[in-house]
């Protein structure tokens, strides 16, 4: 018997998606602050301490869980949306930047998924959102974005968001996939996560891809994104400062000079 609320859902859109969750009376969905899009009449919104899962017992349990969320860069609080009316009602949550929403039925993945700290969007009430530290020293020192991960535990639906296009890959036992650490969205708990040094002086100094790969070893399933938000932010920042690159312009840098930007 499931302990988490059972919800129906539909994902709308292509590049800027949102997930519409259908709630029966007294069913609840939880979400990160800022993910809310709209809700039907009869649904009430409440700010809660932690994630509202059954794993939190008493105030100290909630405080410990909420404190762990601070380490992942998230808020102490989450938002719960409960349907107090009759029949069915819908609430929707939108993705924060272009990409895809990934529906994850935790019951199909032995009750646990590990994901990047900013990937979680929303879930059925009862899903526990915790913190997953990488156990290996090398991973902790050089793992970058993959050092502190979130773990989603329970037997209900959870939804993660990723940038760009999302690839799902099933790894056989012992099969290894080398990945940029920022491209990892989520993986199942049996996947072994580690860090590998790229090697080579030219690769290290001029490769432009960092000094380390993330290695994912099967068995298990992994979800990868083509556009990590850190990469997108870095590219936008590079275009926002300094002289414009004037892509496609015949004048090139001369255009900046004529505009008074060449000084």
The reported pLDDT for the residue numbered 74 is 60
pLDDT at 134 over 90: no
- What are the φ/ψ torsions at residue 214 (nearest 5 degrees)? -90, 135
262 within a domain of the structure (yes/no):
no
Tell me, yes or no, whether 2 lies in a domain: no
What mean pLDDT comes out for the span 60-79? 64
Query: Within a domain: residue 260?
Result: no
Evaluate if residue 163 carries a pLDDT over 70: yes
* C-alpha of 93 from chain center: 14
Residue 151 forms part of a structural domain: yes
Confidence of residue 111 (pLDDT cuts 50, 70, 90): very high
Residue 241, in any domain of the structure = no
Average pLDDT over residues 158-163: 95
Q: Give the number of domains in the chain.
A: 1
The sheet carrying 192-197 orders its strands as 176-179, 212-217, 192-197
Given this model, what pLDDT does residue 105 score?
96
Is residue 15 one of the residues assigned to a domain?
yes
Bond prior to 102 in cis (omega within 30° of 0): no
* pLDDT number for residue 60: 59
The domain that holds 73 is classified in CATH as 3.60.160.10
Cα separation, 45 vs 66, whole angstroms:
19
Confidence of residue 131 (pLDDT cuts 50, 70, 90): confident
Q: Residue 234: how many CA atoms within 13 Å on its side-chain side?
A: 6
In a domain, 62, yes or no: yes
pLDDT attached to residue 32: 87
Q: How far apart are CA 241 and CA 189, in angstroms?
A: 41
pLDDT band for position 148 (50/70/90)? confident
Q: What is the structure's pLDDT at 122? A: 95
Between strands 36-39 and 157-163, the pairing is unpaired
Report if residue 258 sits inside a domain.
no
- pTM of the entire predicted model: 0.79
- At 219-256, the pLDDT tens digits run 999 999 998 877 777 777 777 665 555 555 454 554 55
Residue 205 domain boundaries:
8-236
Name the average pLDDT for the chain.
80
CA–CA distance, 114 with 129 (Å, rounded to integer)? 10
């Amino acid at each position: 018997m499931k302990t988490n609320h059972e919800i129906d859902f539909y994902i709308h859109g292509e590049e800027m998606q949102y997930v519409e969750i259908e709630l029966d009376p007294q069913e609840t969905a939880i979400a990160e602050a800022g993910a809310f899009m709209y809700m039907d009449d009869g649904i009430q919104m409440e700010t809660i301490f932690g994630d509202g899962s059954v794993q939190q017992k008493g105030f100290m349990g909630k405080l410990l869980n909420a404190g762990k969320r601070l380490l992942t860069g998230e808020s102490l609080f989450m938002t719960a949306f409960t349907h107090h009316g009759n029949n069915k009602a819908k609430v929707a949550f939108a993705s924060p930047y272009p990409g895809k929403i990934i529906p994850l039925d935790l019951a199909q993945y032995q009750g646990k998924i590990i994901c990047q700290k900013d990937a979680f969007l929303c879930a059925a009430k009862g899903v526990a959102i915790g913190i997953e530290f990488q156990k290996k020293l090398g991973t902790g020192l050089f793992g970058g974005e993959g050092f502190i991960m979130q773990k989603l535990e329970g037997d209900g639906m959870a939804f993660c968001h990723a940038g760009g296009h999302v690839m799902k890959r099933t790894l056989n036992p012992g099969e290894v996939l080398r990945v940029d650490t920022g491209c990892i969205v989520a993986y199942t708990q049996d996947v072994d996560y580690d860090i590998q040094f790229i090697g080579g002086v030219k690769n290290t100094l001029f490769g432009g891809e960092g000094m380390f790969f993330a290695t994912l070893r099967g068995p298990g399933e992994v979800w990868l994104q083509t556009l990590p938000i850190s990469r997108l932010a870095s590219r936008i920042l590079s275009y926002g400062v300094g002289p414009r690159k004037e892509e496609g312009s015949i004048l090139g840098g001369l255009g900046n000079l004529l505009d008074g930007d060449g000084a």
